[in-house]
Amino acid sequence: MWFKLRIKIKKAKGYSNSRKYIKLINDASIYDVAINSPTTHAVSLSLKEKNNIFLKREDLQPIFSFKNRGAYNKIFNLSEKEKSAGIIAASAGNHAQGVALACKKLKIQCNIVMPVTAPENKIKAVKRLKAKVTLYGENLSHALTKANKIAKKNKYTFVHPFDDPYTIAGQGTVGKEILQDDINYDVIFVPVGGGGLLAGVSAWIRQHKSKIKIVGVEVNDSACLSEALRLNKRVTLKKVGLFADGVAVSQVGKNNLMVIKECVDEVVTVDIDQVCAAVKDIFEDTRVLSEPSGAVALAGLKLYSKKMENKNLLAISSGANVNFQKLGYIVERSEIGENREKILSIKIPEKSGSFLKLSKIFGKLLITEFNYRKSNSKDAYVLVGIRTTSEKSFVQLKEKLNKLKYTFNDYTDNKISNDHLRHMVGGRSNILLDSNIKERIFNGEFPEKPGALSEFLNNFGSNWNISLFHYRNIGSAYGNILIGIEDHNKNRNMLVKHLHKCGTSFKEETDNRAYLDFLKWLVLIFKSEF
Nearest Cα neighbor of 185 from 69, 301, 296 is: 301
Answer whether 206's CB lies under 8 Å from 215's CB: no
Answer whether 264's CB lies under 8 Å from 242's CB: no
pLDDT surpasses 70 at 78:
yes
pLDDT > 70 fraction of the chain, expressed in percent and rounded: 90
For residue 120, name the pLDDT band (cuts at 50, 70, 90).
confident
Average pLDDT over residues 152-161: 96
The reported pTM is: 0.79
* Tens of pLDDT, residues 466-524: 877 777 666 555 677 888 888 888 788 899 889 888 877 788 999 988 888 877 765 54
The pLDDT score that the predictor gives to residue 430 is: 57
Least confident range from 61-70, 305-314, 362-371: namely 362-371
Burial 330-360 (b: 16+ CB within 10 A, else e): bebbbbbbbebbbbbbbebeeeeeeeeebee
pLDDT surpasses 50 at 196:
yes
At residue 350, what are phi and psi to the nearest 5 degrees? -85, 75
Q: Is 493 helix (H, G, I), strand (E, B) or coil?
A: helix
Question: What is the C-alpha to C-alpha distance for residues 393 and 361, in angstroms, rounded to an integer?
Answer: 12
* Tens of pLDDT, residues 262-277: 999 999 999 998 999 9
Known catalytic residue at 155: no
Amino acid at 161: P
Least confident range from 85-89, 237-241, 309-313: namely 237-241
HEC letters along 173-225: HHHHHHHCCCCCCCEEEEECCCCHHHHHHHHHHHHHCCCCEEEEEEEHHHCHH
pLDDT surpasses 70 at 284:
yes
The pLDDT score that the predictor gives to residue 467 is: 77
Average pLDDT over residues 153-173: 96
Which of 18, 37, 56, 67 is catalytic? The answer is 67
Average pLDDT over residues 361-371: 77
Question: What is the C-alpha to C-alpha distance for residues 64 and 289, in angstroms, rounded to an integer?
Answer: 11
Least confident range from 270-279, 334-343, 388-397, 520-529: namely 520-529
Average pLDDT over residues 398-426: 82
Least confident range from 49-58, 157-166, 461-470: namely 461-470
Answer whether 99's CB lies under 8 Å from 159's CB: yes
Which of 18, 318, 345, 417 is catalytic? The answer is 318
For residue 102, name the pLDDT band (cuts at 50, 70, 90).
very high
Average pLDDT over residues 282-301: 96
Q: Containing H/E element for 394?
A: helix 391-403
Average pLDDT of the chain to the nearest whole number: 87
In sequence order, what are the beta bridge partners of 440? 485
Please name the residue ranges forming H helices in 264-353.
272-286, 296-305, 327-337
pLDDT surpasses 60 at 432:
no
Q: Is 326 helix (H, G, I), strand (E, B) or coil?
A: helix
Known catalytic residue at 528: no
Question: What is the C-alpha to C-alpha distance for residues 458 and 478, in angstroms, rounded to an integer?
Answer: 19
Question: What is the C-alpha to C-alpha distance for residues 484 and 101, in angstroms, rounded to an integer?
Answer: 47
At residue 263, what are phi and psi to the nearest 5 degrees? -120, -20
Residue of 416 and 512 predicted with greater confidence: 512
pLDDT surpasses 90 at 25:
yes
pLDDT surpasses 70 at 527:
no
Question: What is the C-alpha to C-alpha distance for residues 82 and 275, in angstroms, rounded to an integer?
Answer: 39
Q: Containing H/E element for 419?
A: helix 415-419
The pLDDT score that the predictor gives to residue 448 is: 64
Complete domains list, the chain, with CATH: 1-336 (3.40.50.1100), 340-413 (3.30.70.260), 423-526 (3.30.70.260)
For residue 2, name the pLDDT band (cuts at 50, 70, 90).
very low
